[in-house]
């Protein structure tokens, strides 16, 4: 019987976000790289499987695969096949560029759903933002829907002067493809305060407008994110972490970096716990479980009320 994992701030932990690589075939100018500055070393399939098995035994029920771009890993289907029986849900955040050929095999391997990053529908802006073309991405989204990787969530990072005028067209597109639009607040990069001031776009007024256009609003357990059910049939979720103490108070996640360290918070780089190095060194199981619990004990809300 697995009991609920709870951190020292009373927050239950049920989800594990694993970065599978720092490599990416896109080059988004604003990418926070999941806060990673690691060695570039990557986990093997066996290591990912062992991590998920151990985490599941400690109470984790959901795994999200991310990166870098998880689909650049040649063994991605095998990773999903091995870990999907171990937890209730495996999902992935991806740029979708390889979903055309991989949506079917990933679904067969047990992937439940995908989040696809789509910040604009304008081909020129897409090229400017990502350094790549839109076509493989929109085809990838269609394939994901076709193979039932649902709900397909479209992640739009909203940036002032870049794509803030496109929120309504992305809402329409997500409704047309049968997806859910996630509006994501631009997050500060460690080295990019200047960047932040130029591109940060306040999503509070956007939420107020969505509220008026909705016939139902639901608050999710994770981060208290709101989902707006618009009267026109679209679904829009808003992810607004910056300076938001509520967001952190309801954070249910722990992370593994692509080089195998446990990371207690996206925003922090100073309290990682070595994890896979213990496995590689043949440490006893209790020590490895101890490291997992140590990482849980280091979790602290990043944004708090003063």
Task: Estimate the share of the chain in helix, then strand, then coil, as percent rounded to the nearest 5.
Answer: 40, 20, 40
Contacting residue, 173, 275, 292, 302, with ligand SF4 by CB under 6 A: 302
Among the listed ranges 21-29, 127-135, 227-235, 263-271, the one in contact with ligand SF4 (CB under 6 A) is 263-271
Say whether residue 12 binds ligand SF4 (CB under 6 A): no
* Cα distances (angstroms) measured from residue 254 to each of 15, 257, 262: 6, 10, 7
CB 146 within 8 A of CB 103: yes
Q: Which residues pair with 182 in a beta bridge?
A: 155, 237
Residue 153 C-beta-side C-alpha neighbours within 13 Å: 19
Q: Which two tokens stand for residue 182?
A: 């996630």
The listed partner (ligand SF4, ligand SAM, none) that binds 36, CB under 5 to 8 Å by sort, is none
Q: Least CB distance from residue 257 to ligand SF4, whole Å?
A: 13
- Spatial distance between the Cα atoms of 181 and 243, rounded to a whole number of angstroms: 22
Q: Least CB distance from residue 297 to ligand SAM, whole Å?
A: 26
Give alpha helix (H) positions in 243-304: 245-249, 276-280, 285-297
- Spatial distance between the Cα atoms of 87 and 52, rounded to a whole number of angstroms: 8
Say whether residue 279 binds ligand SF4 (CB under 6 A): no
- Spatial distance between the Cα atoms of 22 and 242, rounded to a whole number of angstroms: 24
Taking the chain, what is the end-to-end CA distance rounded to the nearest angstrom?
Answer: 39
Q: Least CB distance from residue 191 to ligand SAM, whole Å?
A: 11
The listed partner (ligand SF4, ligand SAM, none) that binds 248, CB under 5 to 8 Å by sort, is ligand SF4
The listed partner (ligand SAM, ligand SF4, none) that binds 157, CB under 5 to 8 Å by sort, is ligand SAM
Q: Least CB distance from residue 292 to ligand SF4, whole Å?
A: 17
- As a residue count, the chain comes to 306
Q: Least CB distance from residue 129 to ligand SAM, whole Å?
A: 10
Say whether residue 267 binds ligand SF4 (CB under 6 A): yes
Query: Which residue, 144 or 183, has its beta carbon nearer to ligand SF4?
Result: 183
**Which residues 194-233 are close enough to bind ligand SF4 by CB under 6 A?**
223
Residues contributing to the site for ligand SF4 (CB under 6 A): 223, 241, 247-248, 251, 253, 265-267, 301-302
């Amino acid at each position: 019987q697995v009991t609920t994992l709870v951190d020292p701030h009373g927050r239950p932990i049920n989800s594990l976000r694993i970065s599978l690589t720092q490599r990416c075939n896109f080059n988004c100018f604003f990418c926070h790289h999941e806060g990673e500055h690691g060695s570039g070393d990557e986990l093997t399939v066996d290591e990912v499987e062992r991590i998920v098995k151990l985490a599941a035994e400690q109470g984790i029920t959901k795994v999200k695969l991310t990166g870098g771009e998880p689909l650049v890993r040649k063994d991605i289907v095998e990773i999903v096949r091995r870990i999907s029986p171990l937890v209730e849900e495996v999902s992935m955040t991806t740029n979708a560029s390889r979903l055309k050929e991989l949506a079917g095999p990933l679904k067969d391997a047990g992937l439940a759903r995908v989040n696809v990053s789509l910040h604009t529908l304008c081909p020129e802006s897409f090229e400017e933002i990502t350094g790549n073309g839109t076509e493989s991405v929109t085809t990838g989204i269609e394939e994901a829907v076709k193979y039932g990787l649902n709900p397909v969530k479209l992640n739009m990072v909203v940036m002032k002067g870049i794509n803030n005028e496109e929120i309504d067209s992305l809402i329409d597109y997500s409704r047309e493809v049968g997806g859910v639009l996630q509006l994501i607040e631009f997050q500060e990069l460690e080295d990019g305060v200047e960047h932040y001031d130029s591109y940060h776009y306040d999503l509070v007024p956007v939420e107020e407008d969505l509220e008026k256009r909705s016939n139902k609003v639901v608050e999710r357990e994770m981060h208290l994110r709101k989902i707006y059910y618009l009267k026109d049939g679209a679904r829009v979720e808003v992810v607004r972490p910056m300076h938001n103490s509520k967001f952190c108070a309801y954070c249910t996640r722990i992370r593994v970096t692509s080089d195998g360290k446990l990371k207690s918070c996206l925003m922090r780089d100073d309290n990682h716990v070595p994890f896979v190095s213990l496995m590689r060194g043949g440490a006893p199981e209790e020590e490895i479980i101890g490291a997992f619990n140590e990482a849980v004990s280091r979790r602290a809300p990043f944004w708090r009320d003063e």
